[in-house]
Structure formats: structure tokens, C-alpha cells
Amino acid sequence: MINGGHVIVYSRDAEADRAFFRDVLEFPHVDAGGGWLIFKLPPSEVAVHPAEGPETHEFYLMCDDVDATVADLSAKGVEFTQPVTNAGWGRLTRLRLPGGGEVGLYEPRHERATEL
């Protein structure tokens, strides 16, 4: 029986991005050895979307209030690469990781599978 999932974020500066998840987002973690941190995620969901081009994968963090979360993270020096937009199904933005990658952040406006 499947009992969990594991997300991998590839980074040009993994150490800086690990520090971001540990120190800025304050995610609980374990050290799997040699500073290899593995983070506990909040309850998560997975959605499957159709693709016409190459198949890609995206990672979004969810929050209850995207404006308050953006304000809180901005005060901690986090850079956002797009303004908050309303997609109907949610309000979303993207934040830059220290290693140069980006992660989505959104406030769902749909029923959440995490609440089942």
C-alpha cells in the first residue's frame, strides 16, 4: 500500500535551497546523512493535467491567505517573480529559491483533497 510521496526539487545550489526550506519556510526536517536534509511537507495533493508538449512537473506550496503569506515571506527577503493573479480556481504567484529555481505558491479556491 502506498503510504506517502516524495517530491524532488532539482537545484543549482541545493545547499542554499535546503537552508531556505529549513530557515525561511521553517519546515521540519531530518538529516539523512552528510547534511542531506529531507523536509516534512504539509498535507499535499497531486493533480494530473493534460499536456500537448513535453511533459513537465510543477511544485506549488499551498496557503490559506496568499496576500498574508507573500507579505510574511517578503519581510524575510523572499523574492516573488510574478504578482498574485486570480486563476479562478485559486490565487497564485511564484517565489524564487536561493538556488535560482522557482516554486509556485497558491491559495486554493476549490475543495481541497487535503481535507478529506
pLDDT band at 115 (very low <50, low <70, confident <90, very high): confident
pLDDT tens readout for residues 48-95: 989 998 888 899 999 999 999 999 999 999 999 999 999 999 999 999
The span from the CA of 111 to the CA of 34, in Å, is 40
pTM of the model: 0.88
65-to-34, 90, 105, 109 alpha-carbon distances in Å: 36, 11, 10, 11
Percentage, residues of the chain above pLDDT 90: 83
CA distance 62 to 102: 14
pLDDT score of 94: 97
Q: Structural domains in the chain?
A: 14-115 (3.10.180.10)
* Torsion sign over Cα 71, 11, 91, 79: positive
pLDDT exceeds cutoff 90 at 18: yes
Cell 519581510 maps to which residue? Answer: 75
Q: Whole-angstrom Cα distance, residue 11 to residue 106?
A: 21
| Pair type for strands 102-108 and 90-96 | antiparallel
